[in-house]
Amino acid sequence: MDRLKGKVAVVTGAGKGIGRAIAQVFAQEGAKVVVADVDQEAGQKTADAIQQQGGMAAFVDADVSTTKGTEAMARATVDQYGQIDILCANAGIFPETPLEEMTEDDWDRVLDINLKGVFLSVKACLPYLKEQETGRVLVTSSITGNRTGISGLAHYAASKGGINGFIKTAAMELAKYNITVNGVEPGNILTEGMDEQLGPDYIKAQEEVIPMGKLGEPEDIAYAMLFLATEEAKYITGQTIIVDGGQILPESKFAVS
């Protein structure tokens, strides 16, 4: 406990799913957490739940796809808590659209939130991270686009592939400021969005090809992020951790016993 005591962490897309779990775990470890999300109701619920559990959290309405939104997020964090030590750029969407039906607007919306949102969030928080003379940038990537592909998610896959490239180069640029940049590549994680958007048939089919026989939980990603946020990971940068229950290991579904 208290591995993040005295730290201030910004978590984007923290209203639901993986982001909410990251915010809760960071708060449990002593961080003051800014819950950043465009969904005001969900974001406030996350902040309220953390406070009810004895943690410190504040909700900030933040559109990560715009400079205005990310700069306001960073300023609000510093106004509330005086500093930024950790940025977890987690916000993302995964609308399913076949390539032949995908419009330019469909493509732009996913890339604006998933990929440009990472860049803008880092850029907005960087001046404050530098002031601490140490910092952690954490990014939620995916096995999709980096290790695997899924029909209907070409825009999502492209955004996550881009994130991994961003992580490597940003890590090189920010190392001189003692800021590490790392990511986690989730496999299939059972979030509200997964359940509502893809449904039970998809979930069952995925479970059959995952060696551990089940989807992950949001907390599985949160604890990997926690490690990367702590002093134990101070010499790790430019890396990603795959958290997928072994999903990318089998050659085919017939290889899963």
Phi, psi torsion values for 96, nearest 5 degrees: -90, 120
Question: Is residue 212, in this structure, part of any structural domain at all?
Answer: no
Catalytic residue check, 156? yes
Number of domains in the chain: 1
Query: What is the percentage of the chain residues whose pLDDT exceeds 90?
Result: 91
Residue 1 lies in a domain: no
pLDDT for 195: 66
Q: Say which residue the tokens 């999709």 belong to.
A: 144
**Domain contains 257:** no
CATH number for the domain spanning 120: value is: 3.40.50.720
* Annotated active-site residue in 81, 156, 177, 202: 156
Residues 7, 55: contact at Cβ < 8 Å?
no
**Residue 2 in domain:** no
Quote the pLDDT of residue 184: 98
Is 34 domain-assigned? Answer: yes
Q: Kindly state whether residue 3 falls inside one of the protein's structural domains.
A: no
Grouping H, G, I as helix, E, B as strand and the rest as coil, residue 165 is: helix
Closest among 254, 242, 177, 165 to 209, alpha carbons compared: 254
* Structural domain boundaries enclosing 237: 8-189+219-243
The overall pTM is greater than 0.85: yes
Is 112 inside a domain boundary?
yes
What average pLDDT does the segment 227-245 reach?
98
- Is 80 exceeded by the pLDDT of residue 3? yes
Per DSSP, the three-state class of 247 is coil
Reported as a single tens digit per residue, the pLDDT across 161-220 is 999 999 999 999 999 999 999 999 999 999 887 767 677 888 888 899 999 999 999 999
8 Å CB contact between 89 and 140: yes
Answer yes or no: is 108 within a domain. Answer: yes
Quick one: average pLDDT of 49-71? 98
Q: Are 216 and 159 in contact (CB under 8 A)?
A: no
